[in-house]
Amino acid sequence: MNNEHYLINQLNNGNKEAFSLLFQKYYKDLVLFAGTFLPDRFLCEDIVQNIFLKLWNNREHLIIDTSLKSFLLRSVQNSCLDELKHQSVVRVHEAYTIAFEPFDDLNTEHYVLYSDLQLQFAEALLKLPDTCREVFEMNRIEGFKYKEIAQKLKISERTVEVRIGKALMLLRKHLKEFFIAVLAAFLLLPLY
């Protein structure tokens, strides 16, 4: 532990050798840890490299209350969870883009409403509890049946049903105000 404090102190002072030693000591383990969240090895490496880049860039103001390893593990975990949320938003966007592809001739008002709906839906999806969002996405976006979801997550089909029901209820609640605004906008649009 004393050696770690010495290296952190040297890192604070801009010592590149100390940074290199820390990188060599923790890099491989951090990439493996990131792999417990994300299956893409290259993405895991990018995340860990970005964390070390931030560590170097913020070295002068670096304050670590726990061990450096704990600090780095928490940073990797947070970055992986952020990446998973980002991927979730991208999947939702792709699914809705594919679903609405036939409407090439949408006029500007409809396109704006559609874009707003996508954004509102993605935001509402992120507000769901993780357990509900996971089963909802597996069923409604990825196309898994309740039984398949139950087997993959090692839960009962009834639990899957309850979680999807809860997700739908919460999505309706989150999107209710948006739909009222959309309805009002449609009522104000000129008739052609």
Checking phi first, is residue 4 left (phi over 0); if not, alpha (psi -120 to 50) or beta?
alpha
The structural architecture, per CATH, of the domain 100-188 is: Orthogonal Bundle (1.10)
- pLDDT (mean) for 117-140: 83
pLDDT (tens digit per residue) in 140-160: 878 888 999 999 999 999 999
Q: Are 80 and 34 in contact (CB under 8 A)?
A: yes
Q: Tell me the average pLDDT of the chain.
A: 81
Better pLDDT: 160 or 97? 160
User: How confident is the model at residue 119, as a pLDDT?
Assistant: 74
Task: State residue 67's pLDDT score.
Answer: 84
Residue 189 pLDDT: 47
Q: Is pLDDT larger for residue 120 or for residue 96? A: 120
Residue 66, pLDDT above cutoff 80: no
In this prediction, residues 123-149 reach a mean pLDDT of 86
List the domain boundaries for the chain: 2-83, 100-188
User: Of all residues in the chain, what percent carry a pLDDT higher than 90?
Assistant: 31
What CATH code is assigned to 2-83?
Answer: 1.10.1740.10
Which pLDDT score is estimated for 43? 92
Q: State phi, psi for 176 to the nearest 5 degrees.
A: -55, -50
Q: Does the model's pTM come out above 0.75?
A: no
Closest CA to 45 of 35, 55, 57, 54: 35
| pLDDT over 60 at 182, yes or no | no
Give the pLDDT score at 108. Answer: 56
Percentage, residues of the chain above pLDDT 70? 78
Instruction: Decide if pLDDT at 110 tops 70.
Output: no
Mean pLDDT confidence for 17-44: 92
Which residues, including other chains, have CB under 8 Å from residue 68's CB and lie 6 or more apart? 4, 7, 8, 22, 26
Rounded Cα distance between 12 and 104, Å, is: 56
The string of pLDDT tens digits covering residues 156-180 is 999 999 998 898 888 888 777 666 6
